Amino acid sequence: MANYERLLRVALGEAPADVVITGGLLVNVLTREIYPATVGICEDTIAYVTGAEDAAVAGAQVVDARGCWLTPGLIDAHMHIESTHATPQHFADAVLPRGVTCVAQDPHEMANVLGLEGVHAMRRAAVGLPLRVLTLASTCVPSVPGMETSGAEFGAAEIDALLDEADVIGLAEVMDFWGVIRQKPRVTEIVKVGRARGALMTGHIRQLGGRELNAYLAAGIDSDHEQLDAAGILARSRLGMTVEICCCQARDTIPAAVEAWRMGGPLDAVVFVTDDIPPQELISAGHLDQGVRRAIQLGMPAAEAVRAATLLPARRLRQYDLGLIAPGRKADILLIDDLNAFHVAATMVNGRWAARGGQMLEPSTSAYAMPESALHSVHVPRLSAEDFAVVGHGSRARARVLAQRGRELKERLLPVRAGQVVWQDQPDLALVSVWHRHGRTQDHASVLLEGCGLQRGALATTYAHDAHNLVVVGRDPGDMAAAANALREAGGGYAAVCGGQVLALAALPVAGILADRPVAEIAVEFDQFCAAAGDLGVSEQPLKLLTSLPLPVVPAFRPTDRGLVDVQRQAFIPAFEFLDEETTNQEAR
Amino acid sequence: MANYERLLRVALGEAPADVVITGGLLVNVLTREIYPATVGICEDTIAYVTGAEDAAVAGAQVVDARGCWLTPGLIDAHMHIESTHATPQHFADAVLPRGVTCVAQDPHEMANVLGLEGVHAMRRAAVGLPLRVLTLASTCVPSVPGMETSGAEFGAAEIDALLDEADVIGLAEVMDFWGVIRQKPRVTEIVKVGRARGALMTGHIRQLGGRELNAYLAAGIDSDHEQLDAAGILARSRLGMTVEICCCQARDTIPAAVEAWRMGGPLDAVVFVTDDIPPQELISAGHLDQGVRRAIQLGMPAAEAVRAATLLPARRLRQYDLGLIAPGRKADILLIDDLNAFHVAATMVNGRWAARGGQMLEPSTSAYAMPESALHSVHVPRLSAEDFAVVGHGSRARARVLAQRGRELKERLLPVRAGQVVWQDQPDLALVSVWHRHGRTQDHASVLLEGCGLQRGALATTYAHDAHNLVVVGRDPGDMAAAANALREAGGGYAAVCGGQVLALAALPVAGILADRPVAEIAVEFDQFCAAAGDLGVSEQPLKLLTSLPLPVVPAFRPTDRGLVDVQRQAFIPAFEFLDEETTNQEAR
């Protein structure tokens, strides 16, 4: 916090500012006006904002901002740093040049791997960075209790403990919305902790409406980032919800937000968020800045678009000193050299320039060392081809086969020879094998997958929502074992193997989901993995195939370390039923 | 707080609501729309808001709101209950029928009389009332240290202690704005406490602008209710200030707010407040409702006007569950039977009907008993005519005479006979005598006042900003003593005396500033006092004459218990200088 005495003297013009930015156009996200202004900064705080013609410009550093617009730094109200696969330090270096100065992270993935230790690691790794990192307490660890085994389980006690930390500002997306509405004990107790503490409680629902939506809101959870169209955005606003507009490419609701603005006028409870941004997208298209850019290009006035990524998220997050260029607020300021393209020329955080021209002025440093548990998180034995055999008795097996990447389930009768299901001669099949990797059980389960494109070899990852167990998809049991073993040795990541050779390895040695490397380097390795997967036949979204396949909250059938989950019924169904000769004959008749 | 399990079941339609309001038009202050809706309530909370045609209307009480609009209860973000001269219980009964369901009080007057005990009395007297009373810690007790002696002095320690209370939500108007800007120790330490605690800090400035306004904002104090015109409202909004729009008749800035809305579009950081509403105005014109009414009548859309008295103050006060009719928010709801006239038909607080048709359903009750110190607060001796003689030596006196109710100072040479200044033969003069009444000193001081209209008798009060010492204005020393003694016996209030007879007495026996009686009764006695003052010659604003005369922050010359204050210089000047014969002759030459 700036020295109070000096701050006031700088404001009065009795002492020189540390930085004066003059000659630029201020984008006022409170009044939605754009006008010339001079901004004087003392330490981390804006001391004064005066007109363009301020005679008393005096500062250690005077910045000529002619040709530039000044906006507040962007604030991402809901996101997972882990989606970029970088540690907070390298994440910061990737987003600060994009104009993101504050994020409210939900360290949900680290929580699922390492529990409270994972949350604390993500908090502590952010201390001292030029990026402002706030944390929301991950509420759904695991996403669906009983259907998979993640590395940890959070109940009310964990959430209560997290809310004691000053930088933990509320509850992260309460994804178990059915649990809330149906008053299941675990999530109910968690929500009650939030209510009792008056905490911000953020949500995640799908197409909930009517009385069920009312019940979710009555519980006190009043935001969502799954609304996809303008009418829905307006309908939710009417109920007092904060609608989080996702601007990631996988789920871009910016056009809907622009349409809602056209229909309903000024946005009051809409905030732009990223949720998940993969490393390649961050490098190629940007972070929260891409949302502002797209909104402006679709016709939303710039001040309105910037407002939805600055002042409105600051209010939502109850950060009263952020989100506005005004005296007394934190000096988080962007210089924008093309407002319509929302091109960030320079980023200031806490009164210090962090980035210019798309580059960090200096790479961030962090004295924090990830805990030992994070560096040894892949607890699976060394595997062999035999571990990927589907063994059983009888002569045939009725296999329940995932189709359309889990959205459907089909049945196939397959021969059983020498006690193993023979599926490799069916060219459209691959085997999915999910191995618990957190050392809490010995569970692993396999199921066949139709139509993923894989022709040969194997792909594997340790980043698979939400439990982040080891997922191996393959045509060849030996390659599947090799891919698994490669990740076991690398400490996690993505691997592509064929003919016993590792074609690509994107190592994520921190908890099996992060790398302590620049995002750009991670993106290159991810591209290499995707290229290798394409060579093996999986040309369409190989990362998504692996990472979302086991998530037992997504329709309709999902393989986890515990078996094949019928998501609708929240029950296991056998992936293989072994039939003796008689049964097979009966069926044939 | 509503039972969570039942709340969700009511929201889902699985259990009947306690109250269902159906058939009315909802004024949505978030989206600024008006549309038919049905509202279901469970205990103190809104469980659901659905369309007009909700088939699942089931409730213990179903309210047919056809012909009515539904708005959130009004929230007054800055006000002094003491200005109505009623205790919180009777204040609540006066404003709830007007639609006010929440106030943020600054118990500044009680603080000046009784210190922390006075603040706590106003907090505790509000516990259990149907009105929601939040408290802001009074920061300027006394207004100007050294120029008068009030009943208490607050420093940083008192403010810090008050902020520990859950219902104390921030710092009340930091009126000593020069002290802030010039970094005077007392107010600087108080502001630093607020900053360190991240507290809401509210302000009060006059025509401050430029760098001085920036310095005040840089200190973290970001509101004001003294801005009078539209251009100023917009200019302050640009700097991130919350502009509090006073709607009391003494300082009605609603027209300026409407003009600002016409010039600048949707209001985002403007909140309607009352500041001070005298009892007669409250009875005749209303409370915060008069501001909403006037704004609508001047052309502001109803949803926008109601928004500035509901959602925007709720946000400003960081009360996230107030200010909107939406599931999960507190059931503070008004039925309005004429939206353009903003006529309140019924008031609900916490899910219970408090008032209907302008009347409380039941008068409020309070088990709280004011402390003994409040009931014996007029610590002056019994006075006689001699106490109001202006004694001195010599033959003449140079009197410094207040003119224009203190805005000017004139000089008059007056004869001294038998050791007393003779002023009664000058028909345009009256004597003002201010007596310290808090038992901390024996101070009293007198000064002559020109042109107040008083022809005979005397007026007195114990409600005089900000120290609330005993102020007596009279033509006759015997009547002045009688007026003072009448208040001494009544425990404070207003008295008018002539010929030794008490013509009117409005007793304010609680701390000498409040009565534990209905506001309407207080208003009648105030009217009687004003009529008596008029009979004695003071036809114009006799209450204001008495109460604002000694305030040493208002230009230009003010009498306090310690003497005659030159406000600009913040120094005492002698009210009388006694001249011997020689000096007088020299002056005559």
Say what the ipTM of the complex is.
0.94
Is the Cβ pair A240, B210 closer than 8 Å? Answer: no
**Bridge partners, residue B32, by sequence:** none
User: Using alpha carbons only, what angle is made at residue B50 by residues B48 and B54, rounded to the nearest 5 degrees?
Assistant: 115
Residues in chain A within 8 Å Cβ distance of B42: 218
pLDDT at residue A561 in the model: 97
In what helix (H) or strand (E) does residue A341 lie, and over which residues does it extend? none
Task: Tell me how far apart the alpha carbons of residues A343 and B97 are, in angstroms, rounded to a whole number.
Answer: 54
Is the bond leading into B142 cis (omega within 30 degrees of zero)? yes
CA distances B298 to B274, B311, B406, Å, are: 18, 21, 35
| pLDDT category of residue A206 using cuts at 50, 70 and 90 | confident
CA distance B60 to chain A (A): 19
Contact A118, A111 (CB under 8 A): yes
Residues in chain B within 8 Å Cβ distance of A42: 218
CA distances A315 to A75, A130, A349, B382, B539, Å, are: 10, 21, 18, 57, 50
> Rounded to 5 degrees, what are φ and ψ at A165?
-80, 135
CA distance A249 to chain B (A): 28
Residues in chain A within 8 Å Cβ distance of B266: 265-266
pLDDT at residue B282 in the model: 98
| pLDDT category of residue A586 using cuts at 50, 70 and 90 | low
The three-state secondary structure class of B159 is helix
Residues in chain A within 8 Å Cβ distance of B230: none
Is the Cβ pair A188, B4 closer than 8 Å? Answer: yes
In what helix (H) or strand (E) does residue A252 lie, and over which residues does it extend? strand A251-252
Task: Tell me how far apart the alpha carbons of residues A452 and A256 are, in angstroms, rounded to a whole number.
Answer: 31
pLDDT at residue B224 in the model: 94
- For B204, the token pair is 């009060």
- For B445, the token pair is 């001081």
Chain B contact probe: residue of A44, A192, A216, A217 with most B CBs at under 10 A: A217
Is the Cβ pair A183, B324 closer than 8 Å? Answer: no
A139-190 pLDDT per residue, tens: 999 987 889 999 999 999 999 999 999 999 999 999 999 999 999 999 999 9
In sequence order, what E strands does B181-220 have? Answer: 200-203
CA distance B185 to chain A (A): 11
- Residue of A45, A191, A200 with shortest CB distance to B218: A45
Phi-psi bin for B301: left (phi > 0), alpha (psi -120 to 50), beta? Answer: beta
Nearest chain B residue to A196 by CA distance is B1
Is the Cβ pair B219, A5 closer than 8 Å? Answer: no
The three-state secondary structure class of B350 is coil
Mean per-residue pLDDT, A554-558: 91
Task: Tell me how far apart the alpha carbons of residues A328 and A324 are, in angstroms, rounded to a whole number.
Answer: 10
CA distance A70 to chain B (A): 14
Its pTM surpasses 0.90: yes
Q: Which range is least confidently modeled, A245-259, A573-587, B145-159, B190-204? A: A573-587
pLDDT at residue A52 in the model: 72
Mean per-residue pLDDT, A239-254: 95
Say yes or no to pLDDT of A460 above 60: yes
- Residue of B8, B46, B192 with shortest CB distance to A183: B8
Residue type, B380: V
Is the Cβ pair B31, A268 closer than 8 Å? Answer: yes
Residue type, B190: I
Say yes or no to pLDDT of A589 above 60: no
Task: Tell me how far apart the alpha carbons of residues B301 and B266 are, in angstroms, rounded to a whole number.
Answer: 10
DSSP 8-state class, residue A97: G
pLDDT at residue B586 in the model: 60
DSSP code per residue over B238-270:
HTT-EEEEEEETTEE-HHHHHHHHHHH-S-SSE
- For B389, the token pair is 């003689």
Contact B11, A211 (CB under 8 A): yes
Q: Which range is least confidently modeled, A69-83, A240-254, A263-277? A: A263-277
Residue type, B575: A
Say yes or no to pLDDT of A359 above 80: yes
Contact A371, A414 (CB under 8 A): no
Task: Tell me how far apart the alpha carbons of residues B60 and B10 are, in angstroms, rounded to a whole number.
Answer: 12
For every one of its 589 residues, what pLDDT tens digit does chain B have, with 9 covering 90 and above? 889 999 999 999 999 999 999 999 999 999 999 999 999 999 999 999 998 766 556 788 999 999 999 999 999 999 999 999 999 999 999 999 999 999 999 999 999 999 999 999 999 999 999 999 999 999 999 987 889 999 999 999 999 999 999 999 999 999 999 999 999 999 999 999 999 999 999 999 987 899 999 999 999 999 999 877 999 999 999 999 999 999 999 999 999 999 999 998 778 889 999 999 999 999 999 999 999 999 999 999 999 999 999 999 999 999 999 999 999 999 999 999 999 999 999 999 999 999 999 999 999 999 999 999 999 999 999 999 999 999 999 999 999 999 999 999 999 999 999 999 999 999 999 999 999 999 999 999 999 999 999 999 999 999 999 999 999 999 999 999 999 999 999 999 999 999 999 999 999 999 999 999 999 999 999 999 999 999 999 988 999 999 999 998 888 999 999 999 999 898 999 999 999 866 655 654 4
Query: What percent of chain A has a predicted confidence (pLDDT) above 90?
Result: 91
